[in-house]
Amino acid sequence: MLILPAIDLRAGRCVRLRQGDYSRETVFDDDPVAVARRFEDAGAAWLHMVDLDGAREGEPKHLDKVAAVLEAVGMNVELGGGFRTAQAVKTALGLGLARVIVGTRAVREPDWLAEIATRFPGRVALGLDARRGCVAVEGWESETRQTAVEMLRAAAALPLAAIIYTDIARDGMMAGPNVEATTHVAKASPFPVIASGGVTTVEDIRRLKASGTIHGAIIGRALYEGTIDLKEAIAVAGDPSAG
């Protein structure tokens, strides 16, 4: 199982939100490049980045910071937050990102998702962020009536790279991941599913891995607050990219 350490960017700094609430922010570091280097030194092969300002405003706002990270490290980097046009996706991929994560417009407009997935095969991941089972959009500030599984069934034929599944109620709360819900989504998904939200301890990694269906796990606040050691997490996950 892959381990993806996370950097969430807001106003140029590394932050974490609780349950996606922009008023409940903790700033952990002013230097995303330094954080990325620490993650790489610990053995991470993938880095998950989110542009929180971009998610809220509808267009990427931190491509300069992302470009600096890409120049500094050799990890595969994925980026989400504000990708609502094909041009924005193309520009970001041109920086050297392994893939971009689309959410709001992809959920609202399935035809647009089909267009960009086909245009950039294997380079687009779909972010499905769920609250009470339903997918949320607009930086998690609006909810739809669709479930994650319904979205997956509709997108099954597309050449997507992965699904990033976030349980919003667990995100940033240090309360453990929703293994049951994530496993349910992973079993229904024709694409690799990466779990996000609530991973707090190495035991959480073991539980996700034991599902046998979850491809990876994103770890954020737990790394910054020290409840998980990244090297140990990678070892416990048996991260195939770490060797």
Active site residue 51: no
CB hemisphere CA count around 175 (13 angstroms): 11
Quick one: CA dihedral 159, 161, 167, 171, positive or negative? Answer: negative
Active site residue 64: no
Given the residues 51, 129, 167, 204, the one annotated as active site:
129
- The single-letter DSSP state of residue 228 is S
Give the integer Cα–Cα distance in Å for 216 and 207.
12
> What is the residue-wise DSSP string for 35-92?
HHHHHHHTT-SEEEEEEHHHHHHTS---HHHHHHHHHH--SEEEEES---SHHHHHHH
Token pair for residue 52? Answer: 């929180």
Give the integer Cα–Cα distance in Å for 229 and 195.
18
The residues that are catalytic are 8, 129
